[in-house]
Amino acid sequence: MQSVEEKNLHDHVVARTCLVTVFLYLTVHVFYLAMFMITDTFFMIVLNIISILIYLIFIVLVKKGKYYVYALCCGFEIITFMSISTVVCGFVAGFQLNIIGLCIVSFFTVYFNSQRRDVTRAIVWTIWSVVVYLGLHFYMSFNEPYYVLDKWLIVTLYAFHSISAFGFVVSYLLIFLKYAMDLEDRIKMESRTDKLTQIHNRYDLYNYLDSIKDKNGYALAIFDIDDFKTVNDTYGHVYGDYVLKTIARLADDNNDFFVSRYGGEEFIVIVKLEDDSEDVFDLIDNIRKMIDEYNFSFEGIDTHVTISCGIAKYMGEISIDEWINLADSKLYECKNSGKNKTLML
């Protein structure tokens, strides 16, 4: 199931893409109209006026959020217009090249349509495009075009269609790539962030610790909210969530610490020691004091919340779990000796 943010990103990309393509294709038909008005090619003038009116209707569809209907109608318009234009003006004008781009659009449409993600539709559309393209090629091999265009117009149109066909494919690929990269970044961020507190999660904690080559200049502190179960039972889980988010913010704000939610009501703080004289105990105990002095107030409920902290500097060749266990042992001492205190190994 998509999150609200993912759906908003999806809808934004689809809406923007549809709107851009409407105005792009509208501009193309205006260009065609100008070219054929110069050469006084009556049938093509009428055909392009009809297409321009159709795209004005498409703008209304996009504005109303009928993206799938627009994509379907747009595909039919393109393949119909290009087929008729090829028969009328000949293969040499290059109208048929745009049919190739329809294949990638069909797959693009399937991917961005969350309601009808059926790749069969894209395959059928692609096969149809190939059949139409080959059919036009076969037909024009045995028939002359209805209009013999001026040489300059043939060269202009073929060059335009060659560029537009490549541009068509590249543009859609760029849109898809941008969307995929944004989505990948979001997934990475969400996989490393605790959903409730919006700080680092346990997974990112281990990644961070693994990335530190020399851990000897670091200290690890683990702290736990005192009597958190009582807070939840007395005031409810909504209030408990408020307490968790507030403590995460207080610990994370205005510090150069790496703060992560380790699980439940437990948090881990990683402190890099700039020199041996730096007092890591005071740095961590300041967090405890700040929380002790903070007035937790939410929906008319005021409470006093405290934490207990255990600290361990990195000592020699020990694993990450052993390091955490050392700090946890001091946290356990805090819990058994009155709580709301900091002890260091």
Task: Judge contact between 94 and 161, C-beta under 8 A.
Answer: yes
Q: Which residue in the list 6, 144, 184, 265 is annotated as catalytic?
A: 265
Instruction: Please name the residue that has the structure tokens 């549809």.
Output: 18
Residue among 284, 283, 305 nearest 294 (CA): 305
d(CA 289, CA 276): 23
- Residue 148: how many CB atoms within 10 A of its CB? 10
Q: Report in angstroms the alpha-carbon separations of 256 from 51, 200, 259, 274, 313.
A: 61, 14, 9, 11, 17
User: Do the strands 266-272 and 258-263 form a parallel or antiparallel pair, or are they unpaired?
Assistant: antiparallel
Confirm whether 265 is a catalytic residue: yes
User: Do the strands 258-263 and 301-303 form a parallel or antiparallel pair, or are they unpaired?
Assistant: unpaired
d(CA 136, CA 339): 83
Residues recognised as catalytic: 265
